[in-house]
Amino acid sequence: MNNIIKPSYFAMLSREMKLFELVEASPSLLSILTRLDIRLPFGDISIREMCQREHLDVELFITLCAMHVDTNYRPDTTKLKSDMLGGVIGYLRASHRYYAEHMLPHTSAHLERILAHCDELSSSVLRRFYDDYTHYIVKHFSEEENAIFTPIENHDCGAGRADCSLFDMPHADIDDRSNDIASLIFKNLPEGAPTSLRCAMLEHIYALRDDLRRHSNVEAYLLKPLVEKYINRK
């Protein structure tokens, strides 16, 4: 049997593709528009026209879209430009804010609705697990910003002082903590907690977990090679 080779999502994108067509084909990309604070309405403009209007690097924007939709996509490092570095850091910082100001509060709101239906013991256990989970995520963001982003942006220190070893640390802890919370909601909460509330909470937990995986890919396969290219530039 012949294997069907699907083209990468990146190959389907072009500078002249209408921005509405991009979002219509992959609605999850709306979160990227939110993070980059892209102004609406955008009418019938193309990706290229939007990037010109918003002062974004069009190739970087297309790469970020491809990495968001296709988690197996890896950018060609030979085609990366060192001047993309600032844009990538800006996107990653914006993602940290998006998680802290949008995704985590939404998940917390659903948690509170569930806890209203739980006994004291179940409520205490779930809240402790969730608080540990969010603390770990926010602490990880702070470490990345202080050890990597700030040194790169600080011309006095230079990119050479950025602790890129953080990229090599496994992100499995975040997955494990997400799965622990999901397991509690699935298996251990009293029957009094409505299924609709459990499912809504699980949707947010899994959405956050999957988005953080994409975030890690951007760091490992886009930011890290750009930092190396910047350091070794002639």
Contact indicator for 86, 198 with CB cutoff of 8 Å: no
Mean pLDDT, rounded, for 9-32: 87
Summary mean pLDDT of the chain = 83
Contact indicator for 46, 16 with CB cutoff of 8 Å: yes
Alpha carbon distance 180, 129 (integer Å): 8
> Residue holding tokens 């979160």?
31
- Give the long-range contacts of residues 43-50, CB within 8 A, separation 24 or more: 44/18, 44/20, 45/18, 45/19, 46/15, 46/16, 46/17, 46/18, 46/19, 47/13, 47/14, 47/15, 47/16, 47/17, 47/18, 47/19, 47/22, 48/15, 48/16, 50/19
Which tokens sit at 234? 């002639």
Name the more confident of 161 and 213.
Answer: 213
Question: Which tens digits make up the pLDDT trace of 131-141?
Answer: 988 998 898 88
Q: Quick one: pLDDT band at residue 97, thresholds 50, 70, 90?
A: very high
pTM of the predicted protein model: 0.85
Q: What is the pLDDT of residue 101?
A: 92
